[in-house]
């Protein structure tokens, strides 16, 4: 249905809005994203009872504008994800990273720490959790925790709940589905929830990778930061990778998306295989 008035996003206003998005999140929106931005913000304008994108700019620049900038970034960011996305990383985790990490950690009575740094709606950190829990069934006696962070509060709310449609868990192997998810019944038919025994190992927190201090414990053994750096320019990618590398324990691993290149970035990590880097 057509709205009572057509809200038009001019090129100039798009530039102002996309600069604000960049300053807040380093997400770079090219001019080809003008209609995407207009579409994603239109509903927000209606909620705020605003007549134009120019009025929205005034709100963003007002004294309480920073909360609204956060809201705008949340609406603009692309949150697409799925269970077992880029499955080679999870095979690497169970077949190479965990076998190498677990014995020395157990000997030193140190917990295993993993971080999903762009966790979106939770599919990635829960897949990591399944891999770790499954591995530790045959190597018990190690404490472990996954910190799952994202800039989007909206996505973190979904992630914390851990409720997914049966369709979205199609890629989860059946034995893991049975072991780590509870199928909904009655009014909850068609969805399933990650079991509390697994959820208790995850901590969800809103973190912008560029905020002044990253509130994530140092000495992470595995960091997944996948399919977010494609939205950053090279200097921002470099900064993000350097910050992540600093928080890695020696011998720890950084996983990036298959289409994300760390070429031209001075990160000091050793490439292990596609999208996997190790701190030596």
Ligand X SMILES: C[S@@+](CC[C@H](N)C(=O)[O-])C[C@H]1O[C@@H](n2cnc3c(N)ncnc32)[C@H](O)[C@@H]1O
What are the residue numbers of the active site? 40, 150
**Number of residues binding to ligand X, judged by CB under 6 A:** 23
Examine residue 274 and tell whether it contacts ligand X (CB under 6 A). Answer: no
Examine residue 101 and tell whether it contacts ligand X (CB under 6 A). Answer: no
CB of 206 to ligand X, least distance (A): 9
- Which tokens hold the place of 264? 């031209």
CB of 211 to ligand X, least distance (A): 8
Residues numbered 162 to 191 that lie near ligand X (CB under 6 A) are none
Examine residue 18 and tell whether it contacts ligand X (CB under 6 A). Answer: no
Helical pair 98-107 and 123-137, crossing angle rounded to 10 deg: 60
Candidate list 34, 127, 220, 227; residue touching ligand X; CB under 6 A = 227
CB of 68 to ligand X, least distance (A): 17
* Nearer CB in complex with ligand X: 98/124: 124
Examine residue 201 and tell whether it contacts ligand X (CB under 6 A). Answer: no
Examine residue 128 and tell whether it contacts ligand X (CB under 6 A). Answer: no
Candidate list 26, 176, 237, 279; residue touching ligand X; CB under 6 A = 26
3 state SS for the chain:
CCCCCCCCCCHHHHHHHHHHHHHHHCCCCCHHHHHHHHHHHHHHHHHCCCCCHHHHHHHHCCCCHHHHHHHHHHHHCCCCCCCCCCCHHHHHHHHHHHHHHHHHHHHCCCCEEEEECCCCCCHHHHHHHHHHHHHHHCCCCCCEEEEEEECCHHHHHHHHHCEEECCCCCCCCHHHHHHHEEECCHHHCCEEEECHHHHCCEEEEECCCCCCCCCCCCCEEEEEECCCHHHCCHHHHHHHHHHHHHCEEEEEEEEECCCCCCCCCCCCCEEEECCEEECC
Examine residue 148 and tell whether it contacts ligand X (CB under 6 A). Answer: no
Examine residue 37 and tell whether it contacts ligand X (CB under 6 A). Answer: no
| Residues with Cβ within 8 Å of residue 33, at least 6 apart in sequence | 18
Examine residue 156 and tell whether it contacts ligand X (CB under 6 A). Answer: no
Question: Which region among 92-100, 133-141, 147-155, 183-191 touches ligand X (by CB under 6 A)?
Answer: 147-155
CB of 86 to ligand X, least distance (A): 7
d(CA 19, CA 191): 39
Residues numbered 238 to 257 that lie near ligand X (CB under 6 A) are 257
Examine residue 278 and tell whether it contacts ligand X (CB under 6 A). Answer: no
Residues numbered 41 to 100 that lie near ligand X (CB under 6 A) are 77-81, 85
Examine residue 13 and tell whether it contacts ligand X (CB under 6 A). Answer: no
Residues that bind ligand X (CB under 6 A): 25-27, 77-81, 85, 118, 120, 124, 150-152, 155, 208-210, 226-228, 257
């Amino acid at each position: 249905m057509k709205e009572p008035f057509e809200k038009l996003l001019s090129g100039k206003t798009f530039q102002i809005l996309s600069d604000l998005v960049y300053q807040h999140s380093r997400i770079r929106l090219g001019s080809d994203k003008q209609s995407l931005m207009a579409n994603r913000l239109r509903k927000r304008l209606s909620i705020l009872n605003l007549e134009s994108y120019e009025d929205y700019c005034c709100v963003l620049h007002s004294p309480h504008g920073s909360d609204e900038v956060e809201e705008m970034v949340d609406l603009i960011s692309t949150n697409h994800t799925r269970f077992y996305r880029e499955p080679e990383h999870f095979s690497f985790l169970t077949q190479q990273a965990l076998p190498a990490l677990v014995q020395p950690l157990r000997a030193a009575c140190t917990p295993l720490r993993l971080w999903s740094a762009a966790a979106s709606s939770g599919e990635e950190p829960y897949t990591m959790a399944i891999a770790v829990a499954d591995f530790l069934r045959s190597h018990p006696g190690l404490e472990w925790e996954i910190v799952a962070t994202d800039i989007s509060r909206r996505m973190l709310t979904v992630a914390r709940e851990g409720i997914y449609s049966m369709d979205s868990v199609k890629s989860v192997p059946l034995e893991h589905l049975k072991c780590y998810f509870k199928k909904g019944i009655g009014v909850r038919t068609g969805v399933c929830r990650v079991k509390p025994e697994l959820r208790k190992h995850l901590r969800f927190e809103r973190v912008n990778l560029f905020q002044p201090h990253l509130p994530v414990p140092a000495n992470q053994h595995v960091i997944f930061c996948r399919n977010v750096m494609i939205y950053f320019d090279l200097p921002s990618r470099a900064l993000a990778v350097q910050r992540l590398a600093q928080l890695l324990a020696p011998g720890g691993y950084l996983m990036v998306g298959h289409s994300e290149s760390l070429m031209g970035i001075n990160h000091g990590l050793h490439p292990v295989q596609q999208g996997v880097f190790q701190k030596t």
